[in-house]
Amino acid sequence: MSRRPAARTRPASPAPATTQQAAGVTVRHYCQGIGDCHLLTFKKADGKPFRMLIDCGIHVSITGGPALVADIVADLKKETGGNIDILVVTHEHWDHVSGFLTAKDIFKDFVVADVWMAWTENPADAEATELDKFKGQAIAALQGVGQKLDGMQGLSAYMAGVRDGLQSVLGFQFGAAGERVRSARDAAAKLSQKPSPTYFEPGGPPVSIDALPNLRIYVLGPPRDKAALRLEEKASEMFPLASGGPFARALASGLKTNEAAEADYVDELSPFERNVGTPLSVALKGDKGSDPAIDIGAFVRKHYSGPVSAAASMEDRDQSWRRIDADWMGIAADLALQLDRGVNNTSLVLALEFIDSGRVLLFPGDAQIGNWLSWKDLKWPVGQGTVTSADLLARTVYLKVAHHGSQNATPQKQGFDLLTSSDLSAFIPTNKTDALKVHWGEMPYDGILTALETKTKGRVIRADDSWLADAGGKPGFASPSGSILAVRSAPRDQARGRGGLWVEVDLS
């Protein structure tokens, strides 16, 4: 079992009757557009601050992203003095970990007591190693397809959409200079004063921290179940991860065959003899092919590859809609979604409970449906009783909305329907304009926004709220309100033309 006790932690025990009233927590959310970075500041018994940092990254599509993250890390250093008690790295996506690499010259002066990660990042865990094999082969296949589609002309609307979608998904895996997300994750791990991160998985008692006797932390995800992680096309498949799955194998095989055909004009999988027929690449270049008497190139250019000339008849004009030579790469869309969904579902999900009030803060990373549904039967022994996941959700008063508020990030029956606290408030780390630029469409999803607005009575803060750009700006809801005691924000950065750098909430 990969879960190990964190530094200065012990199994949770019932709170004594004399427990002091909870001091609460201040949460500073950074507003980088697409990405997560959240600083939680608790008060220890001696009044000194206890800092927990959850992620620090920005999506590669954000203009000036590394400089913006550098501003964020500089602000973190100013706010904390460079002292972080616990750094939580939820999962291996660029928009959650890029800052640990691109701003490493600032982070090198930080003192981080412990780094928490999910079991899926543990190199000593056999199942985690299996997941890595899947991710590595899937990324390699998607890179190959993306490069090939980038170089092709006359793509159909569908395949152009596949190309754009691949660029978006690969943006979670690579930085602007081609850095791999693994390098950023490892840079975060090296910040710990311990020899290695502490890895967590659901199961066992909740975690308590000696310096914060009024706090319990419950680990809800990621699950061990492969079906819940959604990394295979079929739940009945025996070993879909070790070789990257059939989609990755098919793409890799097709790319290899295609490269051979381009180089040698030989297709080993062709149903015809080598001296029969003409490779498409040859015909498109204008060569006549194997039979000089037949100008196959002219035929292909006229009836298959595109317009011949402006003066051509309607019948002879653009016939490129007939082309299917790129369509075999369409399965890359399925593999890309599978990879994206699978990595999101490896998110380390933490529920933070104040013992005296019973109130819960939920930080689910980018957990998608598979991760959420896996919590259904979780139970934790606490004192003489048992705490269930449904109980934690019912007592949740503050939610960091998962995966930028996407449609598949929060289920209805096993998610929103269980968030029943009248004090619920929420934060969405998303800029809708930035999401549209990377072809994400409706993100945050209107259905989720509507449900949140209803559940919270309007106590929803978004990273792109217009009031964040103004000094002294205030949200539309009354403050204090519900679990939120006070709200503060940084004014607009005129030089960058963006909204406030952060929004900060005091929570009871």
Q: pLDDT truncated to tens, each residue of the chain (508 aa)?
A: 455 434 334 444 444 433 333 448 999 999 988 899 999 999 998 889 999 999 999 988 888 889 999 999 999 999 999 999 999 999 998 999 999 999 999 999 999 999 999 999 999 999 999 888 877 777 777 777 777 777 666 677 767 777 777 776 666 666 656 568 889 999 999 999 999 999 999 988 999 999 999 999 999 999 998 878 764 333 332 223 334 454 455 445 444 545 544 444 444 445 566 666 666 666 666 655 555 556 676 776 666 666 555 555 555 555 555 555 555 555 666 666 666 667 888 999 999 999 999 999 999 999 988 899 899 999 999 988 999 999 999 999 999 998 877 777 788 888 889 999 999 999 999 887 777 776 666 777 788 888 889 999 999 999 888 888 887 788 888 767 778 999 998 876 654 555 689 999 999 8
Tokens of 103: 């701003």
Q: Examine residue 440 and state whether it is found in any structural domain, yes or no.
A: yes
Q: Examine residue 257 and state whether it is found in any structural domain, yes or no.
A: no
- Give the chain's domain count: 1
Residue 42 pairs in a beta bridge with 25, 50
Tokens of 248: 């990755």
Q: Examine residue 181 and state whether it is found in any structural domain, yes or no.
A: yes
Residue 409: which domain range?
Answer: 23-136+167-234+337-507
What is the value of pTM for the model shown? 0.77
C-alpha span between 388 and 367 (Å, rounded): 19
Q: Examine residue 484 and state whether it is found in any structural domain, yes or no.
A: yes
Tokens of 508: 């009871």
With a CB cutoff of 8 Å and minimum separation 6, the contacts of 458 are 476, 477
CA distances from 396 to 309, 382, 400, 425, 482 (A): 65, 18, 11, 9, 12
> Residue 124 corresponds to which amino acid?
A
Q: Examine residue 69 and state whether it is found in any structural domain, yes or no.
A: yes
Q: Examine residue 267 and state whether it is found in any structural domain, yes or no.
A: no
**DSSP-derived pairing of the beta strands 83-88 and 111-118:** parallel
Q: Examine residue 367 and state whether it is found in any structural domain, yes or no.
A: yes
Residue whose tokens read 């865990």 = 125
Q: Examine residue 275 and state whether it is found in any structural domain, yes or no.
A: no
DSSP 402: G
For the chain, what is the largest distance between any 2 Cα atoms, rounded to a whole number of angstroms? 98
With a CB cutoff of 8 Å and minimum separation 6, the contacts of 463 are 29, 31, 32, 33, 427, 428, 429, 430, 431, 499, 503
Tokens of 110: 């930080």
Q: Is 499 helix (H, G, I), strand (E, B) or coil?
A: strand
Q: Are 338 and 138 in contact (CB under 8 A)?
A: yes
CATH of the domain at 72: 3.60.15.10
